[in-house]
Amino acid sequence: MQESDLFTSSDAPRPLPPGLVWLERFALAWEDALLEAITQIVVAAPLRHLRTPGGQRMSVAMTNCGPLGWISDRRGYRYSATDPQSGKPWPALPTPLQALATAAAQAAGFESFAPDACLINAYGPGARMSLHQDRDEDDLSAPIVSVSLGLPAVFLFGGRTRRDRPLRLPLTHGDVVVWGGPARLAFHGVAPVADGQHPRLGRQRINLTLRRAR
């Protein structure tokens, strides 16, 4: 096989690194339930722009559902059982979201994934997420399940060091990526989201990141 053949069968850069699985349109079977759940969650726990420990306002707006929510402020990155904005517990993790996460993890080869945290990221045009590792979780044997909805975006997926040149995965509405095992601590991020109009979500991209934090 010639190297160019690796890129001809689809937009997907193949092969993907060990531990990374891209499930194209996997979440579409749950589409209505997901959009309904997100609508309810952001009423109870509104999207907000957090600050990095260094004081920078993030371009991505965030909220959470589930027993634990990921937050960032001057004191650092961490999980919290309550929404610091309201002092109340985060909205419950909706059953369809839990089912999707477990099914996607299983399809990627990770049995019995039971998330206890779901971060909801909302990207308007131009919003981005710089390369980082997900490392605030206690149990790194559980994978990360990441669901993309709305506007397309280029997901950057690198290696164990910041210097590794990332792959560029053009994710679209309904795509799920799962990473774990040898890829669990890979650096990843999202390139600035291009402006556009999505039939269900308008001018935004929503990402759901489901994790086992404790």
Q: Which residue is nearest to ligand SIN (CB)?
A: 207
Out of ligand SIN, Fe ion, none, what residue 79 binds, judged by CB under 5 to 8 A for its kind, is none
Alpha carbon of residue 209 to chain centroid: 3
Q: How far is the CB of 122 from Fe ion (least distance, A)?
A: 15
Structure tokens at 63: 């909220």
Report the residue number, 103 or 119, with the smaller CB distance to ligand SIN: 119
Show the site string, 80-119: x = touches Fe ion by CB under 5 A, - = not.
Answer: ----------------------------------------
Strand partners of residue 176: 23, 147
Query: CA-CA distance, 120 to 105, in Å (whole number)?
Result: 18
Report the residue number, 64 or 146, with the smaller CB distance to ligand SIN: 146
Strands (E), 30-187: 61-65, 69-73, 76-80, 117-123, 129-132, 144-150, 153-157, 167-171, 176-179
Report the residue number, 134 or 175, with the smaller CB distance to Fe ion: 134
Query: CA-CA distance, 53 to 73, in Å (whole number)?
Result: 5
Q: How far is the CB of 60 from ligand SIN (least distance, A)?
A: 7
**Residue ranges in contact with ligand SIN by CB under 6 A:** 119, 121, 129, 146, 148, 155, 188, 190, 207, 209
CA quadruple 35, 40, 43, 48: dihedral sign: negative
Q: How far is the CB of 62 from ligand SIN (least distance, A)?
A: 9
Q: How far is the CB of 135 from Fe ion (least distance, A)?
A: 9
Q: How far is the CB of 63 from Fe ion (least distance, A)?
A: 15
Q: Note whether 167 and 16 are within 8 A (CB).
A: yes
- Chain length of the chain: 214
Of 53-61, 120-128, 131-139, 197-205: span binding Fe ion (CB under 5 A): 131-139
CA quadruple 76, 82, 85, 91: dihedral sign: positive
Q: How far is the CB of 189 from Fe ion (least distance, A)?
A: 8
Query: CA-CA distance, 60 to 32, in Å (whole number)?
Result: 23
Report the residue number, 45 or 190, with the smaller CB distance to ligand SIN: 190
The reply on whether position 134 binds Fe ion by CB under 5 A is yes
Residues that bind Fe ion (CB under 5 A): 134
